[in-house]
Chain A
């Protein structure tokens, strides 16, 4: 297993190196950040000084080598706009995104799996049909529209929840998060639900399909014949077996929850990494864009690794080893 992990880490490093080339050159051929930064009142001399200070007067390959040099020391450059290290900025915004993503994942599991289980066990029940129809809506409605509707209904019309922003934070076990205060949770609920909607639908459909397939299998019939209670069959045997695809997909989707929370964060003015990224793109804050993408790549690599390891725990037939190569 450790050989497997080491090899995977090496692969990950290669992926990161490749990504750095693609991302750096991709980001650096678009637009001109100098005109986004300097005051319109600046004269020609100041403009040139700004270009030199940002290092944009050097040839692009030289800029890339400087970037690599810094990257190996863990320095991905300073944000053009904030003047602070890009990594520091991203880590500063990360807790907000992580708590949003974890809450969304939590919601999709606790809402999606039970609903999917129900729909799988009683496929002809009208409630099940309702659940499945709802899941289609969850897939097809655009996030920004649902987000605005949630705000209009729960914040503007009913006034139950705050419309935008992140609430008070508190520190628990060394982690500062808005998950630990009532105000924080009330701010978190709508964006988390909005972000989770698609994943809930996904969990419903995956679980339902898994249950439908598993219920007809021999091991379930055998368990029945052995006289096990329906409860035990479903919650121990069936659920354990259908969890494999669910864990895989939800694991990968967690990456996308973090990486693509941009829309939800913008609508709900949530101060997370996605918001930081979209602002950085709009204002051509190149170091932040590059650093963000590098971190997201790292995330996906790590999540894939964790999913592989979880596999082996859930399904003993899977052994972590190299397959040829």
Chain B
């Protein structure tokens, strides 16, 4: 008996020691952008979605390369063309101890598109779907048309609790009363602009979280974020400025982790106006819009030295692009090469198209949206000028730029002729850029919404629509790749590079870079 007590005591002591060591496991993260709410359905924007992943699981999760993996759903399969069956994980508990069931899923999808005052709602992902409970652990998602992207859409919506979450206001999420999910971390506190604190969910159904406590602090100024890491005030930072990368690489106290993102930087060209407002002959007189000619578009693509942009402007922190998504993503074509730099060939093509003397054009771009955006626009302008297209540069803050680029002309059409933009494929597969950027601008169908060049090709449209209606993954992958090949063939847009994101950690930690640019505590591991 006595022996047993001692043993128990030792065990208890060991446990307490373990717990004592564990309490020291606090992780502090400095974020480049501020979270605007704890309510996971309030604002569909990267920083908020990343943060909400800690508290709230999704039915389907995305790994660091945005491949789908089971979350609160263990399987999702189409039972017929219009119905998807989701089998839910059993035995999962919310942070308040209540059970996770189909009721939570149903009410989540009712609330998600209808949050009051939401600046960008999740209606994008929930529209056209009705959710029906079959039994406690089975739900059916019904659509009016075959819908293959069900998994991708569902993976964006955070599951909240029927008992406390679904009827709650955004304010109740922010003060914590409704911030109850099934996720790996529990809500502790939220001070807007200052910090968000989580603690470990000891009963998490999945891989046990590594940190007992996590604090996120917004530090928007790049140099200050780096200084905070160097001073040891934070353990991990997102968005390491490209100018600091070389210095930090030489510092033994910090480690850098880089990975390509799903964001392609590309050029949109006016392909819907006979006379484009920012294109003239060299003497300033009006000319027919040369960008309507595929040879001119091809020449522009050949005149751009992508390697130089990556090496010089991006200081090596980017990947040259020849299509819409980097290698490894769903729907990427293996047959597309990055267009080679060929200024002589470009000149020849321009001459063949009847623009041997060149013309004058203005490139418009944002100056505070993408990494080094204004510098890239300047570099491209110089490269085009070299082949005879005298290109002026005009950059502006994104708050002004995007409105004008989308609907700034007197008729409410895109205002510019030749623009630099970026696109992050939120769904992590090629249909996202294809339907938004390449498909004909079609308001009724909700397609081509961000097609600011108004490129329009019925063959490509048909291919995209076919892909969007094909539930079979292998077939859809091929269709998307074919549509991409066709779009690159007619140079609907000119991709220049994929952004690479850089995270910094203190020595002894590692971060698994994510293509969706999220910074999450689940991705931070100890290396020793």
Contact = CB atoms under 8 A, between A and B. Distances in A.
Interface of A: 30-47, 50, 78, 80-84, 89, 92-93, 96, 148, 151-152, 155-156, 159, 162-166, 266-269, 271, 275-276, 279, 281-284
A35 B231 contact: no
B449 A44 contact: yes
Interface in B439-490: 443, 446-447, 449-450
A112 to B, nearest CB: 27
A33 B200 CA distance: 37
Contacts, number: 150
Given A41-B426, A152-B227, A165-B219, A83 B443 contact: no
B224 A44 contact: no
Interface in B205-240: 217-221, 223-225, 227-228, 230-233
B400 A31 contact: yes
Interface stretch (B118-126, B287-295, B382-390): B118-126
B398 interface: yes
A191 B118 CA distance: 34
A254 B229 CA distance: 33
Given A92-B192, A163-B233, A43 B446 contact: yes
A268 B224 contact: yes
A39 B45 contact: yes
A163 to B, nearest CB: 4
B423 A31 contact: no
A41 B124 contact: yes
A40 B446 contact: no
11 contacts: A32-B403, A35-B406, A37-B119, A38-B119, A40-B426, A50-B119, A81-B43, A155-B231, A164-B217, A276-B193, A279-B220
B75 interface: no
A47 B446 CA distance: 10
Contacts of A268: 224
Given A83-B116, A275-B193, A40 B37 contact: no
Given A81-B43, A165-B219, 6 more contacts: A41-B124, A41-B436, A43-B447, A155-B227, A267-B221, A271-B191
A39 B119 CA distance: 9
Contacts of A152: 227
A162 B443 contact: no
The 5 A-B pairs at the shortest CB distance, nearest first, are namely: A32-B403, A43-B446, A83-B117, A271-B193, A35-B402
Contact of B118 (A47, A83, A282): A83
A269 B218 contact: yes
Interface residues of B, number: 59
Given A30-B400, A41-B432, A276-B193, A164 B45 contact: no
A163 B224 contact: yes
B224 A148 contact: yes
A40 to B, nearest CB: 6
Nearest to A33: B399
A193 to B, nearest CB: 16
Contacts of A31: 397, 399-400, 403
Max chain B C-beta neighbours (<10 A), residue from A32, A45, A80, A279: A32
Contacts of B403: 31-32, 34-35
A151 B479 CA distance: 54
A44 B219 contact: no
Contacts of A30: 399-400
A296 to B, nearest CB: 18
Contact of B36 (A43, A82, A267): A82
A46 B113 CA distance: 11
Contact of B436 (A36, A40, A50): A40
A206 to B, nearest CB: 32
B34 interface: yes
Interface in B389-435: 397-400, 402-404, 406-407, 423-424, 426-427, 432
Nearest to A158: B231
Contacts of B62: none
B194 interface: yes
Contacts of A40: 423-424, 426, 436, 450
Nearest to B195: A165
B170 interface: yes
A162 B121 CA distance: 38
Nearest to A271: B193
Nearest to A272: B193
Nearest to B426: A41
A47 to B, nearest CB: 7
Contacts of A148: 223-224, 227
A36 B398 contact: yes
A77 to B, nearest CB: 11
Contacts of A276: 193
Nearest to B28: A165
Given A155-B227, A163-B231, A269 B221 contact: yes
Contacts of A45: 443, 446
A156 B228 CA distance: 8
A38 to B, nearest CB: 5
B63 interface: no
B123 A46 contact: yes
Contacts of B90: none
Nearest to B193: A271
B119 A80 contact: yes
Contacts of B221: 266-267, 269
A31 B220 CA distance: 22
Given A266-B220, A269-B218, A36 B399 contact: yes
A156 B219 contact: no
Contacts of A159: 231-232
Contacts of B36: 81-82
A212 to B, nearest CB: 40
Interface string B111-144: 0000011111101110000000000000000000
Nearest to A41: B124
B399 A39 contact: no
Contacts of B37: 82-83
A37 B194 CA distance: 22
